[in-house]
Structure 1
Amino acid sequence: MKKKTSQIRKKTGKNKKKKRKESSKNKNRELLENNTEENLDTENENVGEKGLKRVKKNTRKERALSKQTGKEYVRKDGQLVPEKSIQPNPCKGKKCGNNCENVTEEKRQQVFKHFWTLTPERRRDWLVGMTDKGNVKRKRSSSELRSYTYKYCITDGEGKRSVCLQFLAATLDISQKCIYYTVKNASSGSAKEDLRGKCEPHNKTKPSTKESAVNFIISLPAVPSHYCRHDSTRVYLPQEYKNIAHVYSVYKERNVKAGIDIVSEKIFRKIFSEEFNISFHVPKKDKCLKCLQLQHADLSDPKKKKEKKDHETEKEESFNRFSTHKSIHKTDPSTLCASFDLEKVLNTPHGESMLLYYSRKIAVYNLCFYENGTRRVTCYYWDESNGKRGANEIASILHRYIKSVDERENIKHLLLYCDCCPGQNRNRTVLAMIHSTLQECNNLQTIQINYLLTGHTYMPVDSVHAVIENNLKKTIIHAPSQWYTVFATARKEPFPYEVEAMTFESFNRWDVDGDKYFKGNLTGKISKVRVVTVKKNKPSMISIKDSMNVNAKSYNVEVQSKTKGPLMPCYRSRLPIAEAKYNDLMKLCKDKVIPAPFHHEYSIIPKATNAKDTLPESDIEDDE
């Protein structure tokens, strides 16, 4: 019963909220439909273009306008300042040399209205025009320093009439100090210009201090993205720089140690955002663009509704298939399921040293394989001077891994899982390599590669990357060769990771025959492939499915005859790095940030002036 009553309360609460929203919308619509044009002008101060959004008022400007026109306003501290009005005649019933008590209230009202209809600048000029400066007729003491006096007037028909200062201040409802300051600082018959907001503040940043901040930002190792440098001039900072606040802390720490003045974080942020086109590199994250698009789609459209349903079905089928294969070794020991993925780029040297923030670093890549049944992990790593991270590199490492699995006599079937990155995994080069390698195997009979949906991978190999990154905390890596020890000691139970260092000689040109390996070239089909099965007893074809659904149909793709022969190497020597990056690494060696035993490892890396230094990883590369 309690559950039912709570459910009823929730429903009634939701219904009440809906009714309130509907009633508020109806009221706004009635206002917009029934109000006249005059009323709509006042309503539009609060109602936006759509009639439902409220426009935010600028209270500071409204307060300033009310103050200038003499109307009532509320100060910043909440105190109410009343509207300007004529004060009682201070000369009434008193002896006044100007006979100010004879001025009628009607005349005073005319002067008051005229004064407050003027702009602030013209009001000051009016006060100067109604004041005559003259010499002091009689000094009351010898010590009096005053050498001139002021005579105040108001308009009287076509001429002027003299009045006293108290009378003028009471008539205009301003202070005597305001009148005296205005006429005292006048020059050439005009009031002094109002300099409020126009003078340089006392805390203005010095040009030299600002220039030091600009030079610091210029010195940062920002490089263009490898994937969008043709379409954009934006450059990116490595992932060590998290955000502008982190960059400012680095700038502040360096300048404080050097005894150099620093700008405030607000000024630094303004310089960084407005004067430079720099962004921060965010490592790739699994995200499903289709889910984000369908989340805000109009489901009343039958096509969108069907598209969302099909996507959710595919997501569930992929999860169920992978879950079944992860435990297939329990029922079929001859089948091995493994997932593989590239770890995010490991910039080297790696550490928390402040000096490392100002230098460009060499990129290290790590391709990991995780086997579900054996819990065996193999890491293949190399740096950017030994190879890139394209289809040929992935295919070469995958070939090496398949050959190592083939050495186990009990394994007959290999199930591979990976993401859908077209430049690395899902392409003709990798499929041609798998088919060709299987024909050379002695024990393996079947190889199947499964491409998981982007944003819904959840592969066990991701846990390997997490273990490695957790062990990197407060660890300094001086050279690429040290990563071998990091990977090998990252896990102890049930046994350490197996690590293999790759060189430029390890990578072959699998793409030479891959482009013409399959009949029809898989044109227009490769982007939809989800499951590819290669069997040794069927060397003339491969089986392909575009869905992981159990009921999805498969089709065969014929394998064309290809010229057999030794594979061409990808590289004849190590790849050169950008000269600017090489110079930064040599400077770290010279400053002894990198210890002497590792200097030779960097000095033998080739450099080239025409080599482009680009961001090695982008957050959009794995999008389908």
Structure 2
Amino acid sequence: MNANQRVPWSSRTSKMVKNYLEKDKNNESTQNPQITVASTTKKTDTTMNEFETSALKQHPQHVSAVEANTIESTEINTDGSTPTRCVVPSLSFLCNEIPQKSQFMSQTVVIQNSIEDSHEELVNMIENNILQSADEKGLENITNNRSEDLIQNPRKNEAQDMHQETLHVTAEYYEHLHRTPERETVDFDSDDDVADPDYSDENETDEEQEKEAKGNSTRRRKANPLLWKKNVTKKKRYSGLEYKTDSGSRIMNSKSLKEPCGDNCKLLCKNRIPEERRLIIHSNFWSPSKTVDIRRQYIASIVTQMPIKRRREKTGERRGKRNFTHCYSLEIDGKKEIVCKTFFLNTLSISQQTVDTAVQKKKEGGIVTPDKRGKHQPVNKISEEVRQDVRNHISKFPTYESHYSREKTKKRYLGNHLNISRMYRLYVEECNERGFGSENIAKEWLYAEIFNYEYNYSFKSPDNDTCDLCDQLQLQIREAESLDSRKKLQADYDQHLADSTNRYKMKSEDKKKSKENLLQKRVVMIDLQKCLPTPELHNSQSFYSLKLWTYNLTIQDATHDNSFCMMWDEGVAGRGGNEVASCLIKWVEQNISDEVKEITIWSDNCPSQNRNILMVMSYFYILRMKPNVTVVNHKFLARGHTHLEADAVHSTIERERKKLPQFKIITPWDWQQMVRLCGTKKQFTVVDMEYSDFKEFKHLFEGSTAPYINKKKDAAGNDFLISLAVHLQVRRSNPGILYYKTNFSDDFAEVDFHRRAKPNDYTPLEIPLIREGPKPISAKKYSHLQKLLKWVPKRFHDYYKNLEYEKNEDDE
């Protein structure tokens, strides 16, 4: 083969040769390496460089193949020392076996001419010997699974014939072919055009639009045409990659380098331009970063029109119509080399029609007219002024944000008295008042489109109510008369938001610490769901009737991600502090093991349920009941910002109820069965609370015999208001003493609830029940339930007829 010709090498071979040359230059004692064929039956003491070893560790299935297809490079030292031997995988193995089975092809490059001239002869000799060795082996071990898109090597006896065969490589190979080994170490994940030479604004736009399509920045998901199947296929076709037709019946192969011109070419193109240079030109032309306009501009710059020098006389139908001819050239090292038409078209893998189109679009000055397909403005296009009027009208309506999920979403909420149709009618009225003609008023479909795809608004009330204090401060800020008052209100508002955010972070930190210490810490969130009506009827008369309420106190174990629904109905107990404390006690009895040392509770600020003296008494009872527990904490979220993990459980229950309308709710037991069906990853654990589970914790601090007393002063003599506390804590080391904070950044203050000074804990183990039997409901509710029995199956009538009710109640 011609010594000046270049062949594609894998990046591994390129790096090995480069390292070898650098070592040769440093030692200044290395002679030309002598290439011999390594043994294919026995592995000798050959060594691989660091890149070779790491690559084979990632692909151990190629180890045996490398041993059987290697070329040994022996380094002869002038000092007579033991020669150094290294292994270079044969070119046939690198170009056929590994690219077909691994991802090494994406790293394929060619040795550039940037290697020092002093080593050029050495590189050529290494290439020639590798090709000869690969040809002598006949490639017998690796031709079974050869891909047509990779280098084809029919068995030839001469290396020159093998090199002249058509070179087929994958599109991924072409994309990376022009990269030098030095550029392979650059981080191409960066969008910086300095770090990434292949950076383009077009790629950045695609990436941004893809993220925008997946985001939740508008009411409805935006369409991303770049991800449509048809457009993906079009982009592959324009990039020369393999693609399927629209019908899917045919697979079009990727653009590959075709045969050069024949031996009878008058310009001797294939002798003047090596195959390596053709590969580089082809890969650059079909780079995915290049558009159709860029490729047309390139073709127009290297193809020129020339007048016809001589014309054969023709008459009649055979008379010639062409007045010019094309002169084809390729740019080699900054110079244009004239080539024949066949060589030009086969190098770029294009048709004559592509050339004609590019030349026809060429204007004066050499600029090609851009492709205008799909870019014509429709005659009925709606003006931007009309769209802007719609946006201005939508922006006039006041919106509110969800304060519980403020950091998770940017959705804004409109009043529930509005909808798109009503807003559009207001828009039309405003346009008519301003004297707009019908052609300047948007249709309702356009109004809805702008609202849905440009705004992240919702009409329904937020799943989590907005904060009263936030709404109040925002209103005062808008109506402030002076700048000083506005600044003060804004500072109060910012402080309120900072406090709520800090508490959410503290809750997350508590969850994280408990997960790191599963045995000794437990973090739970408690919240009472809204009342569930029983029986659940939907006729018009039932809307005006009182129903039996079913209660659900959810205890979310954030440490183990378990949900517990403590359920009962108002015929069993109410929903006050005693009931919440009793549910917490039963959960502790069933789920707190002897290894747990610390329990932390997070809840909202409801005074009648969570933040009261009854809950404090239940903490003392937990320490008495569980000797292993040393600390019980109760922390409260900021008022108006009390979104808890238990709220997600309640949302799931309500959502699943809507999905199962065929599931009839007749008695409170049906609600329990309904909740058992909920849960996506884990089912909710339902605990049926009975009469005997509800304890009267007032027994611990009311009466002369009670062990504790409800004190209003702390140890320092300051007024103690539990409604202002943000953190409550009881400790086994000081039983009967409550530690509290009114600000998380302050130190604990103490309140001694002992009725008498006693050093030891004397909380009784037995606490009386709230009541021995059912809780009577009102006579009015009982009467309404009896009227609803006409829509209730008969087998459930006895349940409602036997309910206890206050017979002497004076109904209003």
Give the structure-1-normalised TM-score: 0.49
Give the structure-2-normalised TM-score: 0.38
